């Protein structure tokens, strides 16, 4: 049985209001979070999420303070672990928010997989969410506009030990990636689980289209995983730099 390795890459730092992550909890508290891009190595080379737009777009359109050191530039983060974008076989996008799908151009030879209802919603979300997707409906230019996707409807075993699990709630077509590693089944949750606190205290993600679905998805992920890797928690890193699971 093939075991896969997962490497977390820190591709930016934001300071946000905490209840965006933990629903109606610690309102008004500032929290420092990472923008994580995940590299999965095994029989194939895989990226989960392509990180955020530039700090300029974050500030001017989203209204968020995002900083990136040279090491945190997505292309440099890959270089630092010896990975070339051209060698990536698959890019699995957990969802299409501005901070998860903005650097697809780094992977010219990859197949891009997203849920069909995620792509549909990203083009025509409810008005409140237009900005988060940089949706054309809001007059924005989404970074994934020129990406040709393989569209999924639900769960898929992509390869032995590597499964895509649909987990709606944060967005309609959110998906997580369940990976068999030497430590057991680890799940890269995307924004279905923002932080360890969501899991530990069973608090749904604060930003969601359907809070009940978000809670159910989080419970589903926890039930099928030996360990869950949240999307925006600096505890996935031990020190400065990449972390391997």
Site residues for Zn ion per CB under 5 A:
97, 191
Smallest distance from Zn ion to CB 94, Å: 8
CB of 100 to Zn ion, least distance (A): 6
Q: Dig out the tokens for 94 from the structure.
A: 């957990």
What single DSSP character describes residue 51?
B
The CA distance from 115 to 166, in Å, is 8
Tokens of 16: 């946000």
Nearest distance from residue 99's CB to Zn ion, in Å?
A: 7
Cα distances (angstroms) measured from residue 137 to each of 107, 123, 134, 142, 162: 26, 7, 8, 10, 34
If the CB atoms of residues 98 and 112 are measured against Zn ion, the closer one turns out to be: 98
Q: Which residue has the tokens 């903005």?
A: 102
Closer to Zn ion at the Cβ: 42 or 114? Answer: 114
Nearer to Zn ion, 61 or 159 (CB): 61
- CA separation for the pair 93, 131 (Å, rounded): 18
| Smallest gap from residue 97 Cβ to Zn ion (A) | 4
Q: Which is nearer to Zn ion, 85 or 169 (CB)?
A: 169
- Provide the residue count of the chain: 245
């Amino acid at each position: 049985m093939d075991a896969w390795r997962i490497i977390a890459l820190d591709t930016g730092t934001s300071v946000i209001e905490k209840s965006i992550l933990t629903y109606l909890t610690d309102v008004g508290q500032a929290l420092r979070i990472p923008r994580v891009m995940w590299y999965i190595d095994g029989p194939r080379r895989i990226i989960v999420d392509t990180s955020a737009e530039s700090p300029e777009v974050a500030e001017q359109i989203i209204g968020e303070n995002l900083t990136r050191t040279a090491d945190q530039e997505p292309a440099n983060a890959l270089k630092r672990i010896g990975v070339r974008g051209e060698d990536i076989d698959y890019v699995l996008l957990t969802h299409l928010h501005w901070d998860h799908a903005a650097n697809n151009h780094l992977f010219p030879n990859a197949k891009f997989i997203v849920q069909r209802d995620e792509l549909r919603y990203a083009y025509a979300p409810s008005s409140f969410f237009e900005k988060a997707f940089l949706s054309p409906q809001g007059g924005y230019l989404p970074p994934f506009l020129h990406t040709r996707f393989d569209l999924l409807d639900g769960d898929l075993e992509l390869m032995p030990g590597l499964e895509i699990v649909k987990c709606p709630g944060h967005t309609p077509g959110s998906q997580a990636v369940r990976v068999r590693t030497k430590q057991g089944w680890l799940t890269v949750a995307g924004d279905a689980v923002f932080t360890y606190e969501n899991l530990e205290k069973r608090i749904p993600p604060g930003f969601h289209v359907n809070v009940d679905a978000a809670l159910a998805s989080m419970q589903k992920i926890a039930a099928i995983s030996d360990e869950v890797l949240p999307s925006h928690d600096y505890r996935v890193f031990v020190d400065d730099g990449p972390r391997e699971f």
